[in-house]
Amino acid sequence: MRLDVPDRDYMYSGHVGCPGCGAAIAMKFVLRALGDKTMMVLPACCWSIIAGPYPQSTLQIPVIHSAFETGGAVASGVRAALDAKGDKETCVVTWAGDGGTFDIGFQALSGAVERNEDFIYVCYDNEAYMNTGIQRSSSTPYGAWTTTTPGQDWKKMRKKNIVEVLVAHRIPYAATASIAYPEDLTRKVAKARSIKGSRFLHIFASCPTGWRIPSETAVKIARMAVQTNIFPLYEVENGSKYTINFMPKGYLVKEYFRLQGRFKHLTERDLDQIQAMVEEDWQLLLRKAGVRLQG
Amino acid sequence: MDDVDPTPTRVYPCPTVSEIEGAMKKVLEGSHGVAEAVRLAKVKVISAYPITPQTHIVERLSDFCADGSLPARFLRVESEHSALAALIGAASAGVRTFTATSSQGLALMHELLHWASGARLPIVMAEVNRALAPGWNIWTDQTDSLAQRDTGWMQLYCETGQEVLDTTLQAFWLAEAVNLPVMVILDAFFLSHTYEPVDIPAQEDADRFLPAYQPRFMLDTANPCAFGQLAPPNIYMEMRYSIQQAMDMVLNRFGEMEEQFVDVFGRCYGAVEPVQCEDAEIILVTSGTITSTCRQLLQELRAKGERAGLLKVKLFRPFPTEAIRQSLGKAQKVAVVDRNCSFGAGGIFAQEIRAALCNLSDGPQVYSYVAGLGGRDVTTDLLDEIYRQTKKQDCCPVESIWMGLREVSYAT
């Protein structure tokens, strides 16, 4: 099967990611869709390491590494400088993990999009602080083991719904995407690039190391997250117009959970409870999208 | 052999009252002097977050941006942390940048102060010295800026409204000469909110002194580079050594900068300014507006036949060790007045001056006084008391002497 995605890569061969790294796959496709007139702001995340040590860089675009909580602010400054120089062509992109987006970078992100800064903010979400060794974040899903939620202290709070938080800022464009659906992903990146103002992409990027899954299942697991409604694919324009891009076929969440070591402690009862939560979230999204409820 | 001579080769007096009255003056707040200099420097990106007593600076700059007299992007960000982060982005993209803050705001920026110097970005900041909480106190105190002395920023302490304006313009010259950021530091209210007659340079004169910014490196899609990436032990130390070298270079470039400033504007200040130090037995060392008060005391002491002197320290980072040794080396006693404190160690200027003098074979005793914290007045009477205590004592205490403390009874 041939994918209908741009085929020019902006990464050199070789990077320092783990085998099967979903974040590396996400970068590959996003850069293909963005092209070389792109500047990237890279706050602390796995990609601070993956891009390689001085003097090497796996990325073929200009990159400014920055402090953990500054993704929104540094991009605002780069954009302002390009505006001052009359450069309207170059696209400024922040590339942050879930910790740098949901947690420590949230204030700067909210500030930047409230000002409707003209940039794309990409959060690649591997659902924990993976670079530091699998500590829980506010993106870690209900039920997950991490090194800071071990044993019976597995995470008992829901994952923060970051897209809805961004939508509440009424930004021009917010969307979810997955490494398992590269055509949908690259279409959304290209669409985001064509829009002015603040744009947010939330990309589901599996982490074999942190999720305790075999590296060859990274894409399969990401696909199952979409098919079970755990990570629905949708986009929201101007804070109000919802479009659901993939209508799942009703797989049960336990099929997704059973393949991952981070969930192996969960009982049937826990999984039933999680199934109900996922169902509740999905119905809420359908309502927002104006899709008629079934039953 | 020694091609690095950090001592100023020319000594210029401060402008006299008649000189000030003779030129085209406007009566300006110190804050507005900063804003005028930023306008003259043709800054391209400003980013700031409001904090008393910095607000008049950013309000005036907002006016300049709104009325078109300063064609800059002004980012009204959601915190001081983001203010500096935004400038790190903008300066990395190759434009001249400015921010202003104070106290809590500077403390919040701390992480990114290191980032700005580590990234070798010539960012200029106006820092209005204000006390740190708790308890809430908006008045002047140098502990906020001095707590940032190890962040790789140049620090320049100002005494007058004219000096604030001039130093802001000079800061861009210095920052861009060595690719390090600069703090222009002014006392809360005594400078930020006090109106003084100030000469606002003409644009063509400012341009002669400070040409358009030519960045040595910048983010560029035609030449893609990675900035600030992973730096393992095999390279990190060399990167840090280059910052130290750049700071060492400032001591030289400062004199060069001032010569150019004199050529255009006919005035300058010196990294340090010794006043009647040549024959002085006791020299008071001050910074900021306390210096003006001390100038008054010095006249009175000299009129009484006292062999007193005054050394004003303007440049704190890099520390002008050689110039300080030359000014203070022959005195018997030095009394350092610190409007700041490093708890557990004492006055910060005093520590640095002791370190600068400690290897002189026959150097002076250095007395350390802490005074005026949180905006408490430092009067000529208080400075006179410091002078008399210093003169009277034979044995120099190691610890700082706290001046003007009141009897306080605490609830039990």
Residue B305 has pLDDT above 80, yes or no: yes
The confidence score (pLDDT) of residue B17 equals 55
CB pairs under 8 A between A and B: 159
| Other beta carbons less than 10 A from residue B351's beta carbon | 18
Max intra-chain CA distance, chain B = 70
Contact A70 B235 (CB under 8 A): no
pLDDT band at B8 (very low <50, low <70, confident <90, very high): very low
pLDDT band at B12 (very low <50, low <70, confident <90, very high): low
Task: Write the pLDDT tens digit of every residue in B254-271.
Answer: 999 999 999 999 999 999
Give the C-alpha separation, A283 to A276, whole Å: 11
**Burial of residue A241, with CB atoms counted within 10 A of its CB: 0-12 exposed, 13-18 middle, 19 or more buried:** exposed
Residue A85 has pLDDT above 70, yes or no: yes
C-alpha dist (Å) from residue B171 to B157, B195, B209: 11, 22, 12
State the smallest CA–CA distance between residue B236 and chain A in angstroms: 10
Q: What residues of chain A lie within 8 A of the CB of B81, using their CB?
A: 69-70, 73, 108
Q: What residues of chain B lie within 8 A of the CB of A65, using their CB?
A: 226-229
The confidence score (pLDDT) of residue A293 equals 53
Assigned token pair, A271: 């999984």
The confidence score (pLDDT) of residue A295 equals 42
| Other beta carbons less than 10 A from residue B295's beta carbon | 17
Residue A264 has pLDDT above 60, yes or no: yes
State the smallest CA–CA distance between residue B97 and chain A in angstroms: 9
DSSP-assigned letters across all residues of A244-287: E--------HHHHHTT-GGGTT--HHHHHHHHHHHHHHHHHHHH
Give the C-alpha separation, A113 to A200, whole Å: 9
Residue A64 has pLDDT above 80, yes or no: yes
Backbone angles phi and psi of B60, in degrees to 5: -65, -40
Query: What is the helix (H) or strand (E) element at residue A30, kind and residue range?
Result: helix A22-34
Give the C-alpha separation, B299 to B309, whole Å: 10
Contact A57 B226 (CB under 8 A): yes
Q: Cβ neighbours of residue B316 under 8 Å, at least 6 residues apart?
A: B146, B149, B155, B156, B157, B287, B349, B352
The confidence score (pLDDT) of residue B410 equals 76
CB of A36 less than 8 A from some CB of B: yes
Residue of A nearest to B111 (CA): A67
pLDDT band at B2 (very low <50, low <70, confident <90, very high): very low
Task: Write the pLDDT tens digit of every residue in A191-248.
Answer: 999 999 999 999 999 999 999 999 999 999 999 999 999 999 999 999 999 999 999 8
All structural domains of chain B: 17-210+230-265 (3.40.50.970), 272-402 (3.40.50.920)
Task: Write the pLDDT tens digit of every residue in B76-102.
Answer: 999 999 999 999 999 999 999 999 999
State the smallest CA–CA distance between residue B233 and chain A in angstroms: 11
Task: Write the pLDDT tens digit of every residue in B330-365.
Answer: 999 999 999 999 999 999 999 999 999 999 999 999
Q: What residues of chain A lie within 8 A of the CB of B115, using their CB?
A: 66-67
Phi-psi region of B388 (alpha: psi -120 to 50; beta: other; left: phi over 0): alpha
Name the interface residues of B facing A (CB cutoff 8 Å). 44-45, 47, 72-73, 75-79, 81-83, 85-95, 97, 111-112, 115, 219-221, 223-232, 235
Q: What residues of chain A lie within 8 A of the CB of B78, using their CB?
A: 107-108, 110-111, 114
Contact B95 A66 (CB under 8 A): no
Residue B67 has pLDDT above 70, yes or no: yes
Assigned token pair, B287: 């910074």
Residue of A nearest to B113 (CA): A67
Residue of A nearest to B218 (CA): A62
Contact A110 B78 (CB under 8 A): yes
The confidence score (pLDDT) of residue B6 equals 47
Beta bridge partners of B76: B48
All structural domains of chain A: 22-289 (3.40.50.970)
Task: Write the pLDDT tens digit of every residue in B106-128.
Answer: 999 999 999 999 999 999 999 99
